[in-house]
């Protein structure tokens, strides 16, 4: 298939592009490079051995989006593009709603106009809100605790309504848990543009000497060691899940399918920290500080549906995730170059 990947130069998008090419798909990328570095394009090309067709613009620009679809035929779209920092979304809610909803509106309008009705959408476990029981299943009601999460809830609903109005659509809603890790080559990984919002890249930056110590937000949760428990999934497993979902959309008769992508196992903050110490070979300084508002004790997936319907399951454990992250961070201590 000829697949358009929005946000294909970003962290998850870049790994998925490599997997899609390896699976035999013809891939085109559109990315604004607001959350990505142009350098990653060359690294994708080096890993795939093929030139990558890249369009650099913001999908909220409807004219440019329409022009792309008018001049290049596509069979499917994998949609990653959007702003993604939870804390920033609280500070800039309007910008998050404008960008995340705007990219989807622009993209789906162009898809509909040019008869492209197969879409894999990058959603999130944030749609389960704060009080969901664990393990979390796809039939739980959706909610959110921050503007970023609400943009995912709303985008899911928009896509359901579009498919209800025209059942020829085939939409996959992929709810990720906590993506971590890096390409095993050490050439691609997560490169936050500022202070990391997520735990793993923060630990990696402490390990490589860019940060003094890790702050652990709370050690009095109802968990085995008192620290928060999350379902960490290797980005390579996540990328494989997108390829499996795209394949499934070609055979299913359901207009909309929802799948959790997680391991089904929880790992605490301290367990992840100690696993990273094993990977990098030295102790990492940390301090316990007050809980963050809105954090919950435990979150992990029930990935049964993805296993049963996609034939997919996570194959990488927490030690693999840390080893690959350390390989990436130690070889790229400042992340991707700006060029």
CA–CA gap between residue 152 and residue 101 (Å, rounded): 9
pLDDT higher than 70, residue 339: no
pLDDT of amino acid 292? 84
CA–CA gap between residue 16 and residue 326 (Å, rounded): 20
Dihedral pair phi/psi, residue 128, rounded to 5°: -85, -5
Question: Structural domain boundaries of the chain?
Answer: 2-180+232-264
Report yes or no: 4 and 78 within 8 Å, Cβ to Cβ: yes
Average pLDDT over residues 54-72: 98
**Band of pLDDT at residue 123, cut at 50, 70 and 90:** very high
What lies within 8 Å, CB to CB, of 24 at 6+ separation is none
Average pLDDT over residues 16-28: 98
Cα 82 to Cα 85, 140, 146, 171, 172, distances in angstroms: 10, 24, 15, 18, 17
pLDDT of amino acid 294? 77
**Band of pLDDT at residue 193, cut at 50, 70 and 90:** confident
pLDDT of amino acid 76? 98
Quote the mean pLDDT of the chain.
97
CA–CA gap between residue 104 and residue 156 (Å, rounded): 10
pLDDT of amino acid 79? 98
pLDDT in tens, 216-259: 999 999 999 999 999 999 999 999 999 999 999 999 999 999 99
DSSP readout, 181-197? Answer: ---TTSS-----SSS-S
* Residue of 23 and 292 predicted with greater confidence: 23
As beta bridge partners, residue 5 has 29, 78
Residues in the chain: 339
Query: Any idea which residue has 């500080």 for tokens?
Result: 289
CATH architecture, domain defined by 2-180+232-264:
3-Layer(aba) Sandwich (3.40)
**Band of pLDDT at residue 197, cut at 50, 70 and 90:** confident
Cα 5 to Cα 16, 77, 242, 262, distances in angstroms: 9, 6, 11, 22
Strands of the 2-6 sheet, one edge to the other: 53-55, 26-30, 2-6, 76-79, 118-124, 170-176, 256-261
pLDDT in tens, 159-178: 999 999 999 999 999 999 99
pLDDT higher than 80, residue 8: yes
pLDDT in tens, 137-157: 999 999 999 999 999 999 999
**This prediction's pTM:** 0.97
pLDDT higher than 80, residue 338: no
- Would you name the residues annotated as active-site residues? 148
Average pLDDT over residues 69-95: 95
As beta bridge partners, residue 229 has 268, 298
Report yes or no: 118 and 75 within 8 Å, Cβ to Cβ: yes
Q: Of all residues in the chain, what percent carry a pLDDT higher than 90? A: 94
pLDDT in tens, 277-296: 999 999 999 999 999 877 88
What letter would DSSP give residue 125? Answer: G
End-to-end CA distance of the chain: 31
């Amino acid at each position: 298939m000829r697949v358009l990947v929005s946000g294909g130069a970003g962290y998850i998008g870049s790994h998925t592009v490599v997997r899609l090419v390896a699976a035999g798909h013809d891939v085109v990328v559109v990315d604004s490079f607001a959350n990505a570095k142009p350098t990653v394009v060359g690294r994708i090309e080096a890993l795939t051995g093929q030139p990558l067709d890249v369009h650099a613009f913001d999908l909220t620009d409807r004219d440019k989006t329409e022009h792309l679809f008018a001049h290049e035929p596509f069979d499917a779209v994998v949609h990653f593009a959007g702003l993604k920092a939870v804390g920033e979304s609280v500070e800039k809610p309007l910008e998050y709603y404008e960008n995340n909803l705007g990219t989807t509106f622009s993209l789906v309008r162009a898809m509909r106009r040019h008869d492209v009705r197969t879409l894999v959408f990058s959603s999130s476990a944030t749609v389960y809100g704060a009080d969901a029981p664990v393990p979390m299943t796809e039939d739980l009601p959706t909610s959110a605790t921050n503007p970023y999460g609400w943009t995912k809830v709303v985008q899911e609903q928009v896509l359901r309504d579009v498919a209800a109005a025209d059942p020829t659509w085939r939409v996959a809603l992929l709810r990720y848990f906590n993506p971590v890790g890096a390409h095993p080559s050490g050439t691609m990984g997560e490169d936050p543009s500022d202070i990391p919002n997520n735990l793993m890249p923060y630990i990696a930056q402490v390990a490589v000497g860019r940060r003094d110590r890790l702050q652990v937000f709370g050690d009095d949760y109802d968990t085995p060691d008192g620290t928060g428990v999350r379902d960490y999934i290797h980005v390579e497993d996540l990328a494989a899940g997108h390829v499996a979902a795209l394949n499934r959309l070609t055979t299913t008769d359901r207009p909309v399918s929802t799948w959790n992508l997680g391991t089904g196992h929880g790992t605490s903050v301290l367990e992840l920290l100690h696993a990273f110490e094993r990977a990098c070979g030295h102790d990492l300084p940390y301090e316990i500080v007050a809980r963050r508002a809105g954090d919950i004790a435990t979150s992990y997936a029930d990935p049964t549906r993805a296993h049963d319907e996609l034939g997919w399951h996570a194959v990488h454990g927490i030690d693999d995730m840390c080893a690959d992250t350390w390989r990436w961070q130690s070889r790229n201590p400042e992340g991707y170059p700006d060029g």
